[in-house]
Structure 1
Amino acid sequence: MSRRPTAAAISWFEQRTRRTTWPRRPSARREPDRRIIAAVKRLPSAIFLLVLGACRAKEPSAGSASSPPTPPPAVPAPVLGFVDETRGATPVEGGILRRRLVGEPATLNAVLQSSLPEQQVLQYLARQLLDFDARLLLVPGLAERWEVSEDGREYRFFLRPREVWEDGSAVTSADAVFTIRQITDPKIPSPVFKPLFDDLELVEATSPTSFRARFRNRDALHAYAFAMPLLPERRFSGRPFAKARENRAPLSNGPYRLSSWKTQDAIELERNPRWSGPPAHFDRIVFRIVPEEAVAYRALVEGTLDETWIDQSLKERSARDRRFGACCRTVEFYNLDYNYIALNNRSPLFSDSRVRRAMTMLLDRPSIVRNLYHGSARIISGPWAPDSPAYDAAVTPLPFDPSAAAELLDSAGWRDTNGDGTRDRNGREFEFDLLSSAGAKTGSEIDQVFAAELARVGIRARVRPLEWATFVERIDRGDYQAASLASAASDANPDPFPYWHSSQSPPRGVNNVFYSNAAADRLMEDARRELDPGKRRDIYHRLHRIFRDDPPVVFIANASQKYAFRRRVRGLVTSPLGLYGFWPGPLAWWGIPDDSVAGGRGQ
């Protein structure tokens, strides 16, 4: 599963981001159980909640002073089901799509990406070798086909012969080999892709349009590592990779190319005239950087954004908002994302598993689901959403139990020895900063609930919102004690190795809580070697119990994902990967003039 920082994660976390862990992370893509076999579990179970708040009536005109007030239009009740608005529809060409980014991308280098905003922009610019479709099946991208050796260790890829970069130069196997070598270079941080190639033995071009990659170990899932973008070798050759101009001005081989990037404001894309794939429908894509949920909601209603993630409070506000009902709709569904509170296991505060277990038992998750999510979330007991085949429903979540939590803290040596009301141990008081992303309303509410409960047992947690870029940087380098994060799945792979194995702490991987459990490490390694899906699932279920009993973080919930769109945006498809994490995803959206729907404005 890929994780990235996401707005929601940061909001509740999210997801994007996305972590995206929140810082997100985009991903490990090695398990069919989640990337492909997840289709078997999720799609048949129809776990897609779709709320089409499609109030069709125009906003009523103002009445006379003596007229009774006109109530806002009613929003229809949620409709259950999988949504595919492309069936039987004729796309409209042209116009502008105004999308939201919750934070500023740190880079547009596909190898260096680590957050949801980066992934969202790159989806328009960088075609991948392979892709996942809405059913979570692996499909051709830049590579028109691939072959696997009998021993399962070698993969041969054959590129489409007429694929070109925006400057007209050919996309070649040299670009693929160069990209993979940068990913595997130990001096280059590539948190999204590096764990996927950790046992790569060789990669080489066999012709201008074909290459082969050989791994040390047999693994039926190695093909999923190649759901990755490429970089143009000649643009980076002889230049410092991390500081190359192309990291901010990438050469496109996708349907759009970069037009402008105004820091902390907007990123604008225009059609790539050399794109030879299926046509993109909008003339331009404008990404506005809007960290605050309420600001984004207001921009949506005013028509300066066409889509945004929303939290539960904004969903409820939209149901009462006459202006929203006249212009916009909501879409809601469950996916593979979840939110959690990261605890830095290197910190003396959280190095003891008894303390981490106590922290989980001090967060009133049932109350959060009832009061903040109004029932549209599911408490989790490990690092997967309930609809992942890796999730074992028999592993019940730890209860909310402050008394038992206090006993665990006592047994770990954290007691109030000086009578000041705060627990201490060896002269250190139990106090810490709980970092969050600024503008995340639900996430902030969860943090405040948590901090209040901690205070009752003698722990001081200071909720500290940070600007997005600073927040991501702190998390990525492990410079924190606790933080509100989320896991945003960009694929269906449940492999926890890149995120929780002790060998994957930064800078090597994205285990940025520095979790270490020898038994868990062994099971994660066993799961990677096991080719039988049923046996691998059993390993994950054993691992799930360890994650519950020795929690690396405070796992919170898998909340339904809620988005708001202007009704002029058409062609939406939902999937277990959400609205974005598959091909073609948002590239298939199109728009109609706002004045052709009730209460709208022009494009």
Structure 2
Amino acid sequence: MNNNPQNSPNSSGKSAKGKKIPIIIVSILIIAIIVLIAYNLIPGSKNKSAVQSNVFSVRIGLLREPRALCPVKRNGNIERQVNQYTFIQAADYNPFTLQNTPVFIENIPKEISIDSGKYANTFRYDLTFRKEAKWDDGSEITGFDQLFFIKMILNPMVEIHPAVRNLYKKVKGIEIDKENPKKISIYTDKNYMLSRELVTNMEIFPEYFYDPGKIMRKINFETFLDEKKLSAVLDTLPGSKKFAEKINSAYFMREHISGQGPYYLADWEANSFIRLKRKDNYWGEKFTGIPYLQNNPKEIIFKIIADKTTSLTELKNGNIDVLQSVPGNDFKKMKNDSVYSNKFDFHNPLSMQFYYVIINNRNPVLKDKNIRKALAYLTDVDFLIKTFGTGGEKRLTSPVHPSKPYYYKKLKPVKFDIVKAKELLNKSGWKDTDNNGILDKIVNGKRTELNLTFVAKGNGLGKNIGLLMQENAKKAGISIEVISKSSKEFRNILKKREFDLVPSVISEDLADVDPYWDWHSDNIGPGGSNISGFSDDKCDSIIREIRNTRDIELRRNFYKILQILIYEKQPVIFLYVPTNNIIINKKFKAKTSIKRPGYFANTFELTKEKK
């Protein structure tokens, strides 16, 4: 018997009856088989197996281009949507349980009081990085990386927001375990309420990538605690200026990014798109219970579409899968249209921010709290929510987010009441003496009419708030001119404090809020963060108590007192907490959260019918 397949009668291109099969037919059959195999490998194909279900991309609409991809330099809402996949924190609040959870450290450290010795009057936090935690080059994440990161922030040559640098000045000492560099002890000032979060809820940078010459290692940490000494060392240390120049440049802000997140920056085409790709053999993917380490999609693509109308059109046409911060009216229209409700899921969790109108307390007229209260009564917040919201918004009465356990619910929102506003204006001596419809009064020896300017950015919600206030204020004898400015002009006006009224937003995280930056008189000066210019000795004192109090219940009582004081003074007009309107294609199984930015594309899964 001939067992050689090449000599088999059915392998020579002939049929069993001896007829030849044309070569072209054989070729077509081979091509068909190849195409069939390839089809089964295409994401979303009908025969796709469960093993291949993670070979998919998520396309997200961004309303502007990120200014940089460096979380300690720029981390607004847009930047955060991208940064959260490339840079992760050592610990972070789980977006679904809202509990502070270890990410690439093993445990949330205990707070150990140090009462004597070199680090007397500090708290010590002992951190251990996970043994699995590695950088992109395969090297381990160690205490040297965290030490470098803190030195970089404290380096005056590096362009960091002053508020961030001031926070890290609370760090008083750092010790790395000599036998195990994955263990590090950090000592912080006792007089800061968020010292634990300061050392755990931070991104850290790989030293090998951002400081390959180890320039920062050449300076002892103690030197960073003495600004004059540090400046002198930096001025003479070879390579220090070049290090800072490179850190401050586009090279590390846009072109070369390296973090501990599950994705890396693959492409960035200016004003067009940003493409993130999943890291191969990522160390964190085994920790399936930690959302920030998940890497389900193969790619996350951000399409930069500056116009909101165009971005909605792209979503409807299937060119993007996710759109965040959708205007309330558009959100409701799409949700109520079966064409779109069958294609998309509509999520509107409360956002971790609130809207308010800043009143310039420096203005001699607006220093009078009766005038500020009258303006609050002339603001129909319920109408704003009904007109521009989705129904899930919440009124608020103080600078504390209603989701916080210490939000003081007994304070009632100021109701729209023109009569009450007129009473307060009359109480402060404002009358229409010349019958021109505008109230007037002698202020600083000069007859002054009650004319105010409301400055808004662009033509969005802020301007609409101004127009509503303008209409209602007119009925009470106040003239409000609404002025719309470009983003650049708007920032300039805020910087120079050249406004009477301006709409604004405060964004918060899940940690306890630090009221110092927005409400303490220390920050009133030029470039300060207290934009309203509000100043009150009692409030300053309570803010200091909040920052220095470790006992949670006692601190919450101080929060309550602060809210009552600010409610009584009415330095701004508190409006409401908006919903974060997110539309996501139904082909994904996705959960949203109150935690910014509200969605987490790395956790998305394909729905069963799409696998």
Q: Which residue of 2 aligns with 1:586?
A: 601
Aligned length: 501
Q: Which residue of 2 aligns with 1:176?
A: 146
505-514 or 328-337, larger mean C-alpha shift: 505-514
Q: Which residue of 2 aligns with 1:242?
A: 248
Q: Give 1:501 deviation, angstroms.
A: 2.0
Task: Write out aligned runs for 1:19-38 (5 A).
Answer: none
Q: Which residue of 2 aligns with 1:222?
A: 195
Query: 2:102 matched to 1:140?
Result: yes
Is residue 147–residue 174 contact of structure 2 (8 Å, CA) maintained in 1? yes
Is residue 466–residue 482 contact of structure 2 (8 Å, CA) maintained in 1? no
Q: Which residue of 2 aligns with 1:386?
A: 402
Q: Give 1:488 deviation, angstroms.
A: 3.0
Query: 2:181 matched to 1:165?
Result: no
Q: Which residue of 2 aligns with 1:98?
A: 59
Q: TM-score, normalised by structure 2?
A: 0.72
Q: Which has the larger radius of gyration?
A: 2
Q: Which residue of 2 aligns with 1:9?
A: none
Is residue 363–residue 453 contact of structure 1 (8 Å, CA) maintained in 2? yes
Is residue 157–residue 212 contact of structure 1 (8 Å, CA) maintained in 2? yes
Q: Which residue of 1 aligns with 2:303?
A: 288
Is residue 587–residue 606 contact of structure 2 (8 Å, CA) maintained in 1? yes
Separation (CA, whole Å) in 1 of partners of 2:554 and 2:318: 51
AA of the residue aligned to 2:298: D
Q: Which residue of 1 aligns with 2:452?
A: 431
Task: Write out aligned runs for 1:187-202 (5 A).
Answer: 188-190=159-161, 193-194=164-165, 196-197=167-168, 199-202=170-173
Query: 2:272 matched to 1:265?
Result: yes
Task: Write out aligned runs for 1:140-539 (5 A).
Answer: 140-145=102-107, 146-151=109-114, 153-184=123-154, 188-190=159-161, 193-194=164-165, 196-197=167-168, 199-207=170-178, 208-217=181-190, 221-225=194-198, 226-233=200-207, 235=210, 238-240=243-245, 241-243=247-249, 245-249=251-255, 250-273=257-280, 275-278=282-285, 279-308=294-323, 309-348=325-364, 350-373=366-389, 375-409=391-425, 421-422=437-438, 426=446, 430-436=451-457, 440=460, 442-456=461-475, 457-464=477-484, 466-467=486-487, 475=494, 481-505=500-524, 510-539=529-558
Change (3 A) 1:485 1:535: same
AA of the residue aligned to 1:397: P
Per-residue CA deviations over 1:86-127 (Å, capped at 9, x if unaligned) read xxx999312221123233322222211241111121101112
Is residue 527–residue 540 contact of structure 1 (8 Å, CA) maintained in 2? yes
Secondary structure of residue in 1 paired with 2:81: helix
Q: TM-score, normalised by structure 1?
A: 0.73
Per-residue CA deviations over 1:358-400 (Å, capped at 9, x if unaligned) read 3222201132234443643222111123332221111112232
Is residue 513–residue 552 contact of structure 1 (8 Å, CA) maintained in 2? yes
AA of the residue aligned to 1:254: G
Q: Give 1:257 deviation, angstroms.
A: 1.4
Is residue 97–residue 284 contact of structure 1 (8 Å, CA) maintained in 2? yes
Q: Which residue of 2 aligns with 1:577?
A: 595
Q: Give 1:567 deviation, angstroms.
A: 0.7
Q: Which residue of 1 aligns with 2:23?
A: none
Is residue 87–residue 259 contact of structure 2 (8 Å, CA) maintained in 1? yes
Separation (CA, whole Å) in 2 of partners of 1:270 and 1:352: 56
Change (3 A) 1:510 1:96: farther
Is residue 63–residue 305 contact of structure 2 (8 Å, CA) maintained in 1? yes
Separation (CA, whole Å) in 2 of partners of 1:245 and 1:477: 32
Separation (CA, whole Å) in 2 of partners of 1:423 and 1:179: 57
Per-residue CA deviations over 1:538-581 (Å, capped at 9, x if unaligned) read 21111111121112321101233332111112132x44426638
Separation (CA, whole Å) in 2 of partners of 1:90 and 1:437: 48
Separation (CA, whole Å) in 2 of partners of 1:232 and 1:273: 18
Q: Which residue of 1 aligns with 2:237?
A: none
Separation (CA, whole Å) in 2 of partners of 1:211 and 1:477: 44
**Once the two structures are aligned, what percentage of the paired residues are identical?**
22
Separation (CA, whole Å) in 1 of partners of 2:303 and 2:191: 44
Q: Give 1:431 deviation, angstroms.
A: 3.2
Secondary structure of residue in 1 paired with 2:481: strand
Secondary structure of residue in 2 paired with 1:153: strand
Q: Which runs of 5+ in 1 are unaligned?
A: 1-88, 598-602
AA of the residue aligned to 1:102: L
Separation (CA, whole Å) in 2 of partners of 1:248 and 1:427: 55
Change (3 A) 1:558 1:272: same
RMSD, aligned α-carbons: 3.4
Change (3 A) 1:453 1:527: same
AA of the residue aligned to 2:196: A
Change (3 A) 1:404 1:311: same
Q: Which runs of 5+ in 2 are unaligned?
A: 1-49, 115-121, 216-242, 286-293
